[in-house]
Amino acid sequence: MCAIGAASHIGFETMPSIVVKNLTIDIPVLSIRAQSLRTIAVAKARAIGGRIIDSGTQINVVRALDQISFTLGKGDRLGLIGSNGAGKSTLIRVLADIYAPSAGEIERQGTLIPMFDIGIGFDHEATGYENIFLRGMMMGLTRREIADRTDEIAAFSELGEYLDFPIRTYSAGMTLRLMFSIATSVAGDIILMDEWIAAGDESFQNKAQKRLLEITGKAGILVIASHDPNTLLRHCNLGMRLEKGRIADFGPIERVLNRPVHAAAE
Amino acid sequence: MATSTDADRALRDLRDVVVRSTIWSSLANADIRSKYRLSTFGSLWITMTTGAMALAIGLFYGQFFGQDMRSYLPYFTASIITWTFISSVLGEASLTLVGAGNLIKSSQMPIVFHILRMLHRNLIIVLHNAIVLAAIWPFVRWSLHPSAVLSLAGLVLLYLFLVGTSVIIAIICVRYRDVPPLIQVLIQFLFFLTPIIWYPEQIKFGAELLKLNPVTYMLMIVRDPILGRPVEIQTWMIAIGLSAASLIAGSLMYVRYRRRIAYWV
């Protein structure tokens, strides 16, 4: 299953695939008033018998994704393009099984590796090693799996003895090295990224890029949201332009990137 | 890995609570370790804090209830340890999902794990606090019966009761952000309505009303066996009923609202 997907294995070879049909995501935007039980209770009480006063308790809904359909198969590398708020990150999170569809459906085959927000869940008081364990647990790995990977993560991060120190003593770059090394220690068929991950100084940068290319190259499917055309051209073969939650364009990445925004919308 | 309904997903989470319990229990252990990392006594500070309070109140307050120190000190200590568990869990339940918001929106960890992590952290604290009770026994030497082990059964029941209750509170509080202060008020209210500093036998008026307080039963099944105080079979039955009801209600609520939590945080 996808929750804790990294650890679950499917007994037979499956072709990774993602099939999205008429996917719609409505995100409730709760005003301060709508988040208040008191306000809602008062509004309900007032509504009895009398006229309904605008109480500000309505829940506004933002349609973040609107009737999205597409299919990805083995070897597809999809780049998501669109202005801020177009729905790129939302789509990544739906594919990662975090947001449940309001309508429509998603079918996924393959183990899922989310590679966004890789710095969340770290404990700055805990040592590097403890954070490897902590983060591994959150990624759904077993103790054993974490133990098996720890040496490799430590070696890749090049943090050496620093891994025995609390990570609050690390520089920003060192922390990023650790986060990157942990996040990329798992393999999977479907990799989801919100912006290409970059980490560390120049020497680490090169190493990190090599590793990311290796991982994404091995993965059956890559979906990445990015604002950088060069990143997308380098790593993707397919492009999807999202506009206000709808697919404005979908096709080979060069075509999608080069077509002017308004022409694509027609 | 094909499509599954939201209910399947929620039920799978609930099954994983048992199957993958190492995840939330390890995270809880790490929380405790992290919190007391920089001090010499580490997590024993938990024990000392409770010990100081138990001594201060246990030694003197007995007079107000016409009890001598030898019986009041263990009574109060056992009471306050159990009550601290209950009240911390209920209080933290109201904040736990909001606090885990970033994790919920970025990881695939079952949402209910955040609640179990909080609960388990508090269980570790109870176990630390139990040391206080053990430490005062040589001085007071109340009679320990074999039935004292029933306190452990009581603790298991209380834990289950709190699992269900926490899920309910956590989900309500992530949707309605003005509820946590209300929970605090309720906890304070319950503190005075539950036989913690006073004895249930001393109630002359309103005893019937106090029987409506579910926390009383859940507290008594943990505290009373270890003190050698008799626990009526009826109390056990009610406690089992409450735990079952809370687990069922919590599960139903989780299955119903799980999909929305990521949108609410």
Chosen for mutation from B263, B264, B265 (greatest number of chain A CBs closer than 10 Å) is: B263
Q: C-alpha distances in angstroms, A23 versus A87, B107, B265? A: 12, 21, 22
Q: Which residues of A are less than 8 Å from B20 in CB distance?
A: 4, 140
In-domain check, residue B51: yes
Residues of B in contact with A116 (CB under 8 A): 106
Tens place of pLDDT per residue across chain B (265 aa):
334 577 888 999 999 999 999 999 999 999 988 888 777 777 788 888 889 998 888 888 888 878 888 889 999 999 999 999 999 999 999 999 999 999 999 888 999 999 999 999 999 999 999 999 999 999 988 988 899 999 999 999 999 999 999 999 999 999 999 999 999 999 999 999 999 999 988 888 878 888 899 999 999 999 999 999 999 999 999 999 999 999 999 999 999 999 999 999 8
Residue B116 lies in a domain: yes
Contact (CB<8Å) A100/B175: no
Q: Tell me, what's the pLDDT at A89? A: 92
Cβ distance of B16 and A35 shorter than 8 Å: no
Give the whole-angstrom CA distance, residue A54 versus residue A44: 11
- For each of the domains in chain A, give its residue range(s) and CATH number, in order of start: 18-114+226-265 (3.40.50.300)
What is the rounded average pLDDT for all residues in chain A? 85
ipTM: 0.83
Model pLDDT for residues A227-262, shown as the tens digit of each residue: 999 989 988 999 999 999 999 999 999 999 988 766
Q: What is the CA radius of gyration of chain A?
A: 22
Is B185 a member of any domain?
A: yes
Tell me the pLDDT tens digit for each residue of A106-149. Answer: 999 998 888 898 888 899 889 999 999 999 999 888 899 999 99
A243 forms beta bridges with A246
Query: For residue B183, what are the domain limits?
Result: 6-30+41-197+206-264
In a domain, B35, yes or no: no
Q: Is residue B62 part of a domain?
A: yes
Nearest to B178 among A37, A97, A120 (CB): A37
Number of neighbouring beta carbons within 10 Å of residue B17: 18
How far apart are alpha carbons A137 and A140 in whole angstroms?
5
How many domains does one find in chain B?
1
For residue A71, what is the enclosing H or E element? Answer: strand A60-72
- Is B77 within a domain? yes
| Domain membership flag for residue B36 | no
Is residue A42 less than 8 Å (CB to CB) from chain B?
no
Distance CA B222, CA B157 (A): 9
